[in-house]
Each structure stands twice: as C-alpha cells, then as structure tokens.
Amino acid sequence: MARGKLRIYLGSAPGVGKTYAMLSEGHRRVERGTDCVVAFVEHHGRPRTEVMLHGLEQIRRREIEYRGSAFTEMDVDAVLERGPAVALVDELAHTNVPGSRNTKRWQDVEELLSAGIDVVSTVNIQHLESLGDVVESITGVRQRETVPDEVVRRANQIELVDMSPQALRRRMAHGNIYKSDKVDAALSNYFRPGNLTALRELALLWVADRVDEYLQQYRGEHNIRSTWQARERIVVGLTGGPEGRTLIRRAARMAAKGSGSEILAVYVARSDGLTSASPKELAVQRTLVEDLGGSFHHVIGDNVPASLLEFAQGVNATQIVLGSSRRKAWQYVFGPGVGATVARESGPDLDVHIVTHEEAAKGRGLPVARGARLGRVRSIWGWLSGVAGPALLTLLLTNVDADLGLANDMLLFLTLTVAAALLGGLLPALASAAFGSFLLNYYFTPPVHQITIADPKNILAIAIFFLVAVSVASVVDLAARRTHQAARLRAESEILSFLAGSVLRGETTLDALLERVRETFAMESVALLERAGDVEPWTCAGSVGPHPVARPEDADVDMPVGDHMALALSGRVLPAEDRRVLGAFAAQAAVVLDRQRLVDKAEESRKLAEGNRIRTALLAAVSHDLRTPLASIKAAVTSLRSDDVDWSEDDEAELLEGIEDGADRLDHLVGNLLDMSRLNTGTVTPIIREIDLDEVVPMALGGVPEDSVELDIPESLPMVAVDSGLLERAVANIVENAVKYSPATEPVLVAASALGDRVEVRVADRGPGVPDESKERIFEPFQRYGDAPRGAGVGLGLAVARGFVESMGGTLTAEDTPGGGMTMVLTLRAVPGPGPVVADLSAQVTS
C-alpha cells in the first residue's frame, strides 16, 4: 500500500488562520468528490471556525479518563476503520492525554499515513523542536508541546499561513482568538508586536529553507550543478575607468538576490605605474556605491591582483566582480591581465565574476606608466635581455648564412640594449652595451674571433655604438624614473583628494581615519599617541587593528605630529616616498582629534544650557505650583486664627484637612524636585538587592485611593535586582500619573509578568492616551500632556520615574492600551534562577 501524503499549514503564531485554511481545503476536496473527513479539529469557541465544520463528516472522538477528569482525543482506530482518502487533523504538535494510543499526535498521523490515508494538518512555528530555545528567548515562554523538525520537513507540501502583527493584534482585540478576559494579558505578553514580528521572520526563513531543499532536490534529479547566491559579501574591483559604474550596479543586483549581502568597492592605486584614473570618475563611483548601500575603499599596492585578493580575503568576501579588460588584443603579449590573474589565484572559496561592458577591448586612455622600482621579475627579465639576449643573437647570426653587414648587426644589438633599459633599468642596459660591443668586435669585425680590429673605421663604429647605447639607456631609464615619479605623485594626489573629500563628507571620526590609514598603507595596526610633556608617558588617543604599540619607538613607522603627538604604524617599513602622504594623514588625525574634543566640549556646553533651561522652567513652575498650596494653607490657618468667626467642629476639621492636603502636595512636589536635582547631578547611587515585586509594589499605592487600582502581581514571579526605595518611588509616580488621567469608573491595572531574563510591570489606564509622536516627550522634565490643570503638578513625575528605573538598569516606555488609554511598561532585570511557571497562552490555541 502506498504511503499517504502529508500537507501542513504552518503558521507564525496562534490565530493566523491555519485551522480555517485547513477546513477550507477540506470543503474544496469534498466539492471535488474526494472522501474527506475531520479526524480531529478543535475550534476553541471561535464562531467562524465552528461554522466551517458544517458540511464535513466528523469522526467520533475517544474519551479518556485521567485524574478524575474526562478528555477527548483523536480516535485513531475509528479513522483507520473508516478509511477515508483524506483526514483533517488539527494541532500536529499536541501531546495526547496519558492512556492514549500514542504519546504525540504526530505519531497518530504517522499511523494514518502508513495506512495510505492523506493527512492535512496544522502547526505553529514555535512548536518546532529545533526552535524551542530561540522562541523562548524571544517570548519568554518555553513551549512544552513540540514536534520533531524532520516530521514537518518530510511533508509533501508545506503552506505558510501568514498575517502581519498589526492585523493579528486587531483580530485579538476584536475577540476573534481568545475570550475577552484574556485579551489584555495576551496583547501585553505573548502577542506583543516585537514577538509577533520575530516569530513571523522565523516562519518565513524556515519555509524559505524548505523551498531551498526542494530546489536542491530538483537540481539533483535533473543533474543541475549550479548554485544560487544568498547572503554574500561582494568586492568590486575598480580601475577608475568609466566601466566602474556598470560593475557597481551589477554587484548591487547580485547582492539584492540574498538577504544581508554587502558590497565593498575597492580601488588599488599602483605605485609602479598607475593607469589613467580620473579623480572625478572615482568620486562619482564612490557616491554611487554609497547610495546603493555599499562602502568604498582605497588602497595602495605594487601588485594589483595580489592587493585585490589580499583585501578580499581580509574582509571575508565570497565574490569578486571585475570588468572585462580594456586591453587590445596585441597588449596581451605583456601578460594575462588583472582579471585572469585574480581568477587563477582566487582559490575555490572565492568566486570571480568577469563582467563585460562597453569599454571592453577599446584600449586604455593613456599608456601604462613604467616605474623605477621594477621588482624582482622585471629585473631578471632586464638582465636576461641585456646579457642572454646578445649571446642568443650572436648565435643566431653566426649560424645563419646571411651577411647583414656591420651596421645592421649594430642596430640589432642596440635594440636589445633598449629592451634591457625598458625592462630592467640602467644597469642591465649598460651591461648590454658593453657585452654587445665585445660580441660585435669578436664575431663580426675583421679579423673575427680576435679582440683586435683591423679597420680604424670599425673602431669608430663600435665606439659610437657603445656611446649611443649608453645614451639611449640613460634616456630610457631617466624617462622611466620621471614616469614613476609622475605616477606616484598622481596616486598621492588622489589619496589626498579623498582625504580632503572625507572631511567635506563628514567622515571625521578618528577611528575611521585611522582605519583608512591602515588600509592605504596595508598595515596591521595604527595608533595615534600623545603626551602632555617631554618627560610624560605616552597615552593612546585612538587605535585600530590588533596589538597597537604603546610608544613610537616600538612602531615600524612613526610620524611625529607637533612636539607631543605621533602616528605609530605596525606591520612593515614604509619607503621614504610614502612618508609624505603619511604626514598628511597624521596632520589630519591631529585635526580630527582636536575637533572631537571640541565637539565633546560643545556637548558639555549643551548640557549646561539644558540645565539652565531646566532651572528656568523650574522657577516658572515653582512660581505657581508652590504658591498654590501655600496660599490654601495660609488661608486656612488665617481663618482658624481669626477671632471674628466662631468655627464649628466640622468647619475646623475641613480647614485642617485643607491644610493637610496642601502640605501633602508640597511634600510630593518638593520630593520630585529634589529627586530631579539628584538625577541631573548624577548623585543617585542605587543599592541593588534581590527583592520580590509583591513586597514593593503594594507599598507604592499608598498615595492613591484604594479602589482606583487593580493589582495583579503573581507570587510565582522571579526576584528582581533593584533598589527597593527607588523602585517604590518610580512605581508611585507612574501609578499616580495613571490614576490622574484615568476615568474614576475605570480602575488602573497594575500587572507583572516574567519574560525570559526580565520582569515587566505594566500600568494600564483608560484615559485619553498619548499620540505616538508625544510618547517620548512626556518623560521630559516639566512636561504635562494635554489640558492638565496647573495645579496637577510641575510635570516631573514620569521624568523622575524613568531616571530612577534607568539608574537600576531597567527601562520605562509608553504603549497604547488596547481599547484606549496608555500603558507604562517598566522592565527590570530578573535574578537568575529556576524559571517561573508562566501560563502558556500559545499552548491553549495552536491553530
């Protein structure tokens, strides 16, 4: 018998509509004539889901007694006996009541599949076994009911049932998921927007991974070996030519294929001959790559392919994008080019993409500049041309029966001398001239095979040959040196141009500048050191890279900046010509450091100005809010002391009560003023201890009427690490503010819950609420929202509360209360220990 097929509706959270979608699929199959039955569906009292059961055949459930209570589970035997073509089974991760046929419902489903019955089932992403720890860290709830990932992965079809967090919360608020008495708790805990967004992302990524498995399986069956790109780091090699824009846009399209891909454009300035690179074009390309979300890097390297690969490996790149060479066909005789070299040496873990463009094979704007620092390979070729070349030419001419004449022989030897000068510089060319003169004398000037010369004209000819060869070699070498100097100066000017441009673009952080120095000169670490005097120790003002030096004497390269500052580099010794550019970087680093310190001083001045503003606001508030209770107290005292009126006991009691109320208001106002002063001066020092919330929160409610607050603090909450006095003052201010704005008929709800390694206290009122753009402003000093009367306080309560909470390592934020009003969310650090017993709302409903 063929095994049945499994189809699963996967949801990101309870209530997204998995059961509804499964029942809709059942109706479609029945309409098509398929024998489809409901093996087990739990509608949880949802009217719309219950309506979908109408018209579908339902298999009776099995009743099981457990600890004096009756439970119903899917009757596997009844379903097997009925033998339908398709069975609808809800809640795949459900744990059966002890005494059932199997421990887990997914095991029941396996029996149905083995019997050849197709099954349509549902499961939430949080019930997958491999995601248990991740879900707990997000929601603070450990899922007790799980299903092995392999069971879900073996499904023939997985369909994601998706819904935005906002739509799901609206569905919850309307009572379409839980009963009304559980809505507020669910919205405040498990069904918070952040939780739902994270669970939705988990579901999308898990399904995407499953899609990739299907794709790999398909490619394997059809012998397709190519792969697709995802989450790549792509390096774009730029030459400064017009093709750079095409390469950047191509890399951006490649990066768009995978989430989290990164683009790094790099331009390598070569000191031994720089190609024609337009600074204006490089600036345009830099702007383009930054607009596309990438970053631009400028490095110096004598070997462009090696420098490019070194950079790519240093940033852990997975791909390199290069343009097709602009060389013409005949120019390939000088070497394979950068693209071919990079592709050959990149290795198996680094893909190289050669992108065609309109400038391919059109040639370069200017010839390649030759440098004087030729490197080992160029020197070897120069000596071979200057020494081995004349020897091979002599062997060729002496074995070929052709008398070219002494003049033509001299021209051939002069050609080798020029080649030696071009390849190896002056010394190989001089050696070539001397060796060529000897060979011309010995093999081609009568009498041959002797060092003597019979004809005086030949003596003059060989002497002129030697002089011309030396002169040509000197001129060629001088031109090469001048070209090298021009190329180097052009490279330096481009670096200095980028350095100046970085200042104009606002890249003024010291770390960014030091990182640019490290990249440009290929160093391991860079540090900016300073000291107060000649005999004072050096201190590090900023550094990048591993193991920065502590003294300029310990660095491979040090560049003084003034009398008491130096830029120290470690990694390699720089040539003397590089120190000019390094000096510009060092001077800029000193300027950036001074600018940072000026910015810090400006920030201090801003804080002082803010303090002055607060003091001004304080005087304005005190001028009214302190005088109001003082005026009422003075009026009551004056009335009591008056001999003209005979006050009754009730009148005296009323006047004394007014005095007491005014004194309480003054005490509360002065207390908040003192607390704000302590916060502004940084003199609040919390004494952190481990306490229970139910010991502190009730004490904070003494300043409000007893029937104005509804308290819900579970005894099972973990202890929190706080200062009990500061927490009591913070909660008191929050509750008093909520009671002030909440209607008299609507009590303020103070509830607490545990979420992972933190505990939340939520104070929810049913007042007018606060718009999103004003939620942060209400925590500023002397802020009173809306039309609060002047006598309602000076607007310090929430500012003091947030200051106290943050001093204890917690947070205080404002959210909307479902149904209207505002909820203050106070988050505190829980003491590590055994996890609390938290109601698993998601376990009650998994559809």
pLDDT (tens digit per residue) in 306-357: 888 888 877 777 889 998 876 666 555 556 778 788 888 777 778 888 888 7
Say if CB 385 and CB 419 are below 8 A apart.
yes
| Amino acid at site 812 | L
Going by DSSP bridges, is the β-strand pair 565-570/557-560 parallel, antiparallel, or unpaired? antiparallel
* The predicted structure's pLDDT at residue 112: 94
Return the exposure string of 553-566: e unless at least 16 CB atoms fall within 10 Å of the residue's CB, then b. eebebbbebeeebb
Question: What would the DSSP string read from start to end of 267-297?
Answer: EEE-TT------HHHHHHHHHHHHHTT-EEE
Percent of the chain with pLDDT over 70: 79
Query: What is the band of 672 on the pLDDT scale with cuts at 50, 70, 90?
Result: low
**Among the ranges 23-32, 656-665, 799-808, which has the highest mean pLDDT value?**
23-32
Percent of the chain with pLDDT over 90: 14
| Amino acid at site 619 | L
* The predicted structure's pLDDT at residue 639: 81
* The predicted structure's pLDDT at residue 367: 37
Nearest to 280 by CA among 501, 484, 485: 501
* The predicted structure's pLDDT at residue 141: 79
DSSP-based three-state secondary structure for 218: helix
Say how far apart CA 267 and CA 240 lie, in whole Å: 7
Mean pLDDT of the residues in the chain: 79
Peptide bond into 447 cis (omega under 30): yes
* The predicted structure's pLDDT at residue 439: 82
486-495, 576-585, 609-618, 709-718: least confidently modelled range: 609-618
Q: What letter would DSSP give residue 147?
A: B
207-211, 341-345, 525-529: least confidently modelled range: 207-211
Q: What letter would DSSP give residue 432?
A: H
DSSP-based three-state secondary structure for 559: strand
Q: Which residue has the tokens 């790999």?
A: 216
Going by DSSP bridges, is the β-strand pair 57-58/36-40 parallel, antiparallel, or unpaired? parallel
Say if CB 526 and CB 517 are below 8 A apart.
yes
Contacts 24+ apart (CB under 8 A), 637-642: none
Question: What would the DSSP string read from start to end of 53-107?
Answer: TTTSEEPPEEEEEETTEEEEEE-HHHHHHH--SEEEE--TTPBPPTTSSSSBHHH
Range list of β-strands (E), 189-329: 233-238, 262-269, 295-300, 319-323
* The predicted structure's pLDDT at residue 678: 63
Would you say residue 366 has pLDDT above 50?
no
Question: 353 pairs with which residues across the strands?
Answer: 321
Say if CB 846 and CB 17 are below 8 A apart.
no
Say how far apart CA 711 and CA 89 lie, in whole Å: 41
Longest dimension (CA), the chain: 155
**What would the mean pLDDT of 648-674 be, rounded to a whole number?**
77
**What would the mean pLDDT of 275-279 be, rounded to a whole number?**
57
* The predicted structure's pLDDT at residue 332: 54
**What would the mean pLDDT of 268-275 be, rounded to a whole number?**
57
* The predicted structure's pLDDT at residue 88: 95
pTM across the whole model? 0.38
pLDDT, tens digit, 9 for 90 and up, residues 602-660: 888 887 776 666 566 555 555 555 666 777 788 888 888 877 777 788 888 888 888 88
Query: What is the band of 824 on the pLDDT scale with cuts at 50, 70, 90?
Result: very high
Say if CB 203 and CB 162 are below 8 A apart.
yes
* The predicted structure's pLDDT at residue 278: 64
| CA angle (605, 606, 612) in 5-degree steps | 90
Query: What is the band of 844 on the pLDDT scale with cuts at 50, 70, 90?
Result: very low
Which of residues 396 and 91 earns the better pLDDT score?
91
- In what order do the strands lie in the sheet containing 233-238? 295-300, 262-269, 233-238, 319-323, 351-355
| Amino acid at site 229 | Q
Hey, what are 725's tokens?
Answer: 């006095």
**What would the mean pLDDT of 493-510 be, rounded to a whole number?**
65
Would you say residue 789 has pLDDT above 50?
no
**Among the ranges 46-50, 152-156, 436-440, 511-515, which has the highest mean pLDDT value?**
152-156
DSSP-based three-state secondary structure for 825: strand
pLDDT, tens digit, 9 for 90 and up, residues 225-246: 443 444 578 899 888 777 888 8
Which of residues 150 and 278 earns the better pLDDT score?
150
Hey, what are 543's tokens?
Answer: 């550094």
Would you say residue 519 has pLDDT above 50?
yes
* The predicted structure's pLDDT at residue 749: 92
Say how far apart CA 524 and CA 579 lie, in whole Å: 17
Say how far apart CA 141 and CA 839 lie, in whole Å: 8
Say how far apart CA 554 and CA 569 lie, in whole Å: 9
